[in-house]
Amino acid sequence: MVNVTIDDRMQQAEAGELVVDLINRVGGTIPQVCYHPQLGPVQTCDTCMVEVDGRLVRACAAEAADGMRVSTKSAAASAAQEEAFDRILSNHLLYCTVCDNNNGNCTVHNTTKLLAIEHQKIPFRSKPYEVDNTNPFYRYDPDQCILCGRCVEACQNVEVNETLSINWEDPNPRVLWDGGSTIGESSCVSCGHCVTVCPCNALMEKTMLGHAGFLTSIKKSALKGMIDVVKGVEPETGYGAILQVSEAESKMREHRIRKTKTVCTYCGVGCSFDVWTKDRHILKVAPEHGPANGISTCIKGKFGWGHINSEDRLTSPLIREGKTFRKASWDEALTLIARRFTELKAKHGADSIGFISSSKCTNEESYLMQKLARAVIGTNNVDNCSRYCQSPATVGLFRTVGYGGDSGSISDIHQADLVLIVGSNTAESHPVIATRVKSSHKLKGQKLIVADLRENEMARRADLFFSPKPGTDVAWLSAVSRYILDNGLAKTEFLAKWTNGFDEYRKSLEPFTMEAASRICGVPVETLTKVAGMIAEAKNVCILWAMGITQHTQGSDGSTAISNLLLITGNYMRPGTGAYPLRGHNNVQGASDHGSMPNMLPGYQLVTDPEVRQRFETAWKVKLPSSKGLDNHQMVDAIHAGKLKSMYLIGEEMSIVDSNANYVGDGFSKLDFFVVQDIFFSETCRFADVVLPGAPSLEKEGTFTSTERRIQRLYEVLEPLPGCKPDWRITQDIANRLGAGWKYQHPSEIMDEIASVTPLFAGVSYERLAGYKSLQWPVAADGTDEPLLYTKRFAFPDGKARLFPVSWIGPTEVPNAEFDLHLNNGRLLEHFHEGNLTYRTEGIREKTPDVFVEVSPELAEERGIQSGTWVQLISRYGKVRVRALVTDRVHGHELYMPMNSVESPVNRLTSSHTDPVTNTPAFKETSVHMNVLAEVGESPLPRNNSRFGHPTPQNGVEVERKWKRPDYHTPGNGNGLVQIQTRK
Ligand code: SF4
Ligand code: SF4
Ligand code: SF4
Ligand code: FES
């Protein structure tokens, strides 16, 4: 700590703390237009000038030092601040009363007030550029742009999409997209970082424009007239009086604009943000305080909310009548469900009914679903879609370290010295986690290795990228481990102190020489040796993996091999290290955590353990089934076998998301009674007997658990549409019709019950999760959580990790003469899975209207294909018709098809082969034959997709270039004080 005097008062500061942060912390007030704590010092605006020991400095760039004397209001500092802000106003037309950004948080407005500006010395000067409206989600108004560069800093160094820059050398600088493209045709991925940090109305969400203010929907011509009137009176009245009017208008807005915290409904990163609404209109998503994301989001979280007010939301229960459905009352639908479940249970037994929980629903809803299955119906036939993705990773971690979740936090990934990404398209599937890797790689020297079939964005950024043949990861991971051990590069002390099973594991590595792995994987020995060397050398290593590992017949073994590699290199137990299986859905972690699994009660407690069952039986006052139930894959087999007669499925598009979709659909059509609960009439609803209208995340309360085991609260942003109900209420209604007598009034009561029966969540409560507070499980009864696991011990009785031997078996399905191409599949940045939610956002449809199959330039030439050529893909299980996209992201005979289609879902092609340990389908082991059709259409990816842009990487806003302009001088120089620039 150091002592610093601020305006004659002694303050304690941490050495190195920015003076601006110190001033803000102790309640001082200085202008600071370009400074944003999450961006750091941008140093473009000069409004934060303070006097330090007789010299003028930028408070945002100066670090606190012992004995420093800071004056924020000396004559020199005040003059400099005003001069700097006058320059800002010359770039910005103040028309606050009719501005959609007049919401109390506009930095330009607030600074005008803070400095009590009455008149501008430098008049406003319009810039010779048009407003750019070419992005579907936001617009840029150059005339309002104060050139603070926050947006550039965010795009270049936080999101690291590297689209934005400012042409400082130009007589009329402005923000540029790809150096001068329109926004629509640039590399902009519509993540919204720039819009979120813009301190004024230069960048604004289109959903705000004309909607936020009372007078902002007026016509442009009228607006101009009003602005002219205001400007006309300004010389006489001064800004003070004018601002009073706009302040009154802003105050009025407080009564009609609601700001409600929620958690993103899409991927497992767990971004949280405020949603601004006016009635049911979503004005904007405002990320700032989220513990996982701060100011970050991706296109889906920032702009992908068209599904909420979509006209085709289900708003009434539906009951099948022959081949169609008719609307029904809730009472009729619930009565029918209760009658049919009761009849089927009586006739065929409790195990003739299966339950599928939703990874989009809340923890509380998942808990109630498994409670309904077990305590009310009496079966353990309950599962969730983690079966399709994360179960193998969970097993790999259960086998080796003890907990089935990420071993640390996103901040650990951010601070690692080396990140290895295996089989994960992180930049598209977990975009905000990708930003942390991209920024550490760009700015902090973090090393990046990527192993993937496709040359995705992370692969292109990597220091080392290689493509093992599909399904061979166990071989190279084990060979790298063996090489590290053979060459004395392993952390032997760590191994001795913290692991069991070394000898057996060491023996299991015998077949995995570098040469053998090279043969199996098709990767040169030199590359694998380099990978081993980089991992062994790095101080702290994180490994990230996803479906490229888990959706293989050796998904569990691949995940185990990753954890083994981390153990032998000592990369657990410290910040910046560990295992990160990236969870796909917003709450896929929570769905399993809360017991929607056929073998586990909440908190991963085995249904076969009598002591565990006893605890739940006491709490629930029922006798519980004691043998493991069917998982979702087995349920489909059981329908075909005539054993499973009925299902209740919530919020899952299982008929096309499960592998071998034709087989799944056939199964569903054989069910005696099928209840599907969703917010839209999904493909799966087509097989239902009763459809129930649930509520999307914005219309309910509850908690989600993200990939980093972070439990976060979501609040009700909007009331459920009339006719819909939060899913927990519906499940409770069904349970009660079956005689359960549940009386939950609010999800917090469900969470209290969860905490009371689940040691993993013993200290979880809604109070401890209030607002933006969060907890990363395990949570002890006193509320202590564990952002980083295993800091003291591994989660086994003796506290030691277990090296777990694995052998290489190889993929079940490889290309042959008939099915000669390997088909890979996965997500697309803009869409979530099959697109049921994201297609309902018009701008997303505009950027990515359709599915496609990626074809390599080599294959395109060989088969006479161009982007837009229609092809038919035929596998052993089905066929789809789809347009080709020729791209060098794939190589040779490798195809890639994203999942975003209901009409041509890739899972019509995938098989029923599974990882035998978890029953997770080997989605990624699919071979196809491709018929090139005569028809050639437009490219399936429009030219305005970000992929066709040309980024302009640079280190942030490059303010030094501004300082070199001949017309630039630091404000305050005229006072004879010395200007110093302290740090960037
Ligand atoms: S990618 Fe686009 S939306 Fe995201 S920060 Fe850059 S310019 Fe803004
Ligand atoms: S558009 Fe960028 S440079 Fe212009 S005011 Fe907004 S954040 Fe600052
Ligand atoms: S989809 Fe994922 S990365 Fe995008 S905003 Fe939502 S949680 Fe964040
Ligand atoms: S806040 Fe803009 S230069 Fe310091």
Substitution site in 19, 24, 32 for ligand 4 pocket (most atoms within 8 Å of beta carbon): 32
For 296-345, write each residue's pLDDT tens digit. Answer: 999 999 999 999 999 999 999 999 999 999 999 999 999 999 999 999 99
pLDDT value of position 550: 86
- Cβ–ligand 3 contact at 142 (below 6 Å): no
User: Which of 295, 297, 429, 583 maximizes ligand 3 atoms within 8 Å of its Cβ, making it the mutation to test the pocket?
Assistant: 297
Looking at ligand 4, which atom is closest to the CA of residue 48? 4
Share of the chain above pLDDT 90, in %: 87
Quickly list DSSP for 189-228: ----HHHHH-SSSSEEETTTTTTSSSSTTS-HHHHHHHHH
- 110-155 pLDDT, tens digit each: 999 999 999 888 999 999 999 999 999 999 999 999 999 999 999 9
Distance 729 CA to ligand 3 centre (A): 26
Neighbour tally for 627: CB within 10 Å: 11
351-389 confidence digits (pLDDT tens): 999 999 999 999 999 999 999 999 999 999 999 987 777
Could you tell me which residue, 241 or 853, shows the higher pLDDT? 853
Query: How large a percentage of the chain has pLDDT more than 70?
Result: 99
What six digits make up the tokens of 404? Answer: 């089935």
Helices vs. strands in the chain: H and E counts, helices first:
32, 40
Q: With CA atoms as reference, report the closest residue to 383 among 666, 686, 654, 626.
A: 654
> Helices (DSSP H) in 401-546: which residue ranges?
410-415, 426-429, 431-443, 457-461, 473-486, 492-498, 502-508, 514-521, 525-537
For residue 427, give the 3-state DSSP assignment.
Answer: helix
* Burial state string for 501-530 with b = 16 or more CB within 10 A and e = fewer than 16: bbeebbebbeebbbebbbebbebebebbbb
Contact 867, 793 (CB under 8 A): no
Residue 961: Cβ-neighbour burial (10 angstroms; 0-12, 13-18, 19+): middle
Cα 949 to ligand 3 centroid, rounded to whole Å: 22
- Per-residue pLDDT of 260-291, as tens digits, reads 999 999 999 999 999 999 999 999 999 999 99
The whole-number pLDDT of residue 983 equals 45
> How far is Cα of residue 953 from the mean position of the Cα atoms in its chain?
23
Ligand 1 pocket check for 409: Cβ under 6 Å: no
What average pLDDT score do residues 86-99 get? Answer: 92
**Contact predicate 882/871, CB 8 Å:** yes
Please provide the average confidence, as pLDDT, over all residues in the chain: 95
Judged by its nearest atom, the ligand closest to the C-alpha of residue 142 is: 2
Nearest ligand to the CA atom of 290: 3
Task: Report the alpha-carbon angle 742-747-749, nearest 5.
Answer: 65
Contact 713, 700 (CB under 8 A): no
What's the token pair of residue 597? 């699994």
Residue 241 Ramachandran class (φ > 0 left, ψ -120 to 50 alpha, else beta):
alpha
Mean pLDDT of all residues in 61-77: 94
Instruction: Calculate the CA dihedral of residues 116, 117, 118, 123 and round it to 10 degrees.
Output: -170
Across 925-932, average pLDDT: 94
Q: For the segment 423-452, what is each residue's pLDDT rounded down to a tens digit?
A: 999 999 999 999 999 999 999 999 999 999
From ligand 3's centre to the CA of 814, what distance in Å?
34
Helix boundaries (H) for 238-318: 239-254, 299-303
Report whether residue 298 contacts ligand 3, using a CB cutoff of 6 Å: yes
| CB 202 less than 6 A from any atom of ligand 2 | yes
Confidence (pLDDT) at 984 = 43
User: Residue 739 CB: number of other CB atoms within 10 A?
Assistant: 9
Q: How confident is the model at residue 921 (pLDDT cuts 50, 70, 90)?
A: confident
502-557: pLDDT as tens digits: 999 999 999 999 999 999 999 999 999 999 999 999 999 999 999 888 888 889 99
Q: Which ligand is nearest to the CA of 432?
A: 3
Q: Specify the pLDDT at position 564.
A: 98
Cα 442 to ligand 2 centre (Å): 23
Rounded distance from Cα 719 to ligand 3 centre (Å)? 23
Total Cβ atoms within 10 A of residue 474? 29
pLDDT tens digit sequence for 628-664: 999 998 999 999 999 999 999 999 999 888 888 899 9
**150 CA to middle of ligand 2, Å?**
6
Q: Which residues pair with 175 in a beta bridge?
A: 166
Nearest to 831 by CA among 299, 235, 443: 299
Q: pLDDT at residue 973 above 80? A: no
The residue ranges of DSSP E strands in 833-942, in sequence order, are: 853-855, 869-874, 879-886, 894-898, 914-915, 920-921, 926-936
pLDDT tens digits along 867-882: 999 999 999 999 999 9
CA–CA dist 971, 984 (Å, integer): 18
Ligand 2 near 917 CB (within 6 A): no
Q: Is the model's pLDDT at 976 over the cut of 60?
A: no
pLDDT recorded at residue 907: 87
Residue 981 scores a pLDDT above 60: no
Task: Give the whole-angstrom CA distance, residue 856 versus residue 154.
Answer: 33
Quote the CA–CA distance of 547 and 542 in Å, as a whole number: 17
pLDDT at 978: 57
Span 389-418, pLDDT tens digits = 788 999 999 999 999 999 999 999 999 999
AA identity, residue 339: R
**Does the beta carbon of 154 sit less than 6 angstroms from any atom of ligand 1?**
yes
**299 residue type, one letter:** I
Q: Which atom of ligand 1 is nearest to the CA of 190?
A: 3
